[in-house]
Amino acid sequence: MTSTIKIIIGAAALAALGGCVEDTGSASSAVPSDAEQVCLQRVSQETNNGDVALLGSSFSQAGTEVIVGVGPQRARWQCIAYSNGTTSRPVSLTDEGFL
């Protein structure tokens, strides 16, 4: 195989992989999605702490899993936001044994 053919095949492979990425409005977005916002609010209420930060999210048809950091140490909490606007009760991912 010549170098030119290898480069063309490599470029085609990279272009194909680029189509596999879906932006779901995770932590890298400037404005959190509706699901992320509702979970940020729920975690803030559950922990009685207004210092919350979006750490990440993962969309699925069943519900969007949102990971929220709480306090200066960004203790990890999980919340699931559903398409009907409801959420699961937030769950600590840091000290579950102590809750």
- Between 9 and 84, the more confident residue is 84
**Alpha carbon 2 to its chain's center:** 43
The alpha carbon torsion through 76, 41, 91, 81 (nearest 10 deg) reads -110
pTM of this structure: 0.66
Query: What pLDDT, on the 0 to 100 scale, is given for residue 30?
Result: 74
The CA distance from 80 to 39, in Å, is: 7
Tokens read off for 71: 């306090």
Q: Which pairing describes strands 75-81 and 64-70: parallel, antiparallel, or unpaired?
A: antiparallel
Judge contact between 61 and 14, C-beta under 8 A.
Answer: no
* pLDDT tens digits, 40-80: 999 999 999 999 999 999 999 999 999 999 999 999 999 99
The alpha carbon torsion through 16, 19, 20, 22 (nearest 10 deg) reads 170
| Domain chopping of the chain, boundaries | 23-98
Q: How confident is the model at residue 29 (pLDDT cuts 50, 70, 90)?
A: low
Q: How confident is the model at residue 8 (pLDDT cuts 50, 70, 90)?
A: very low
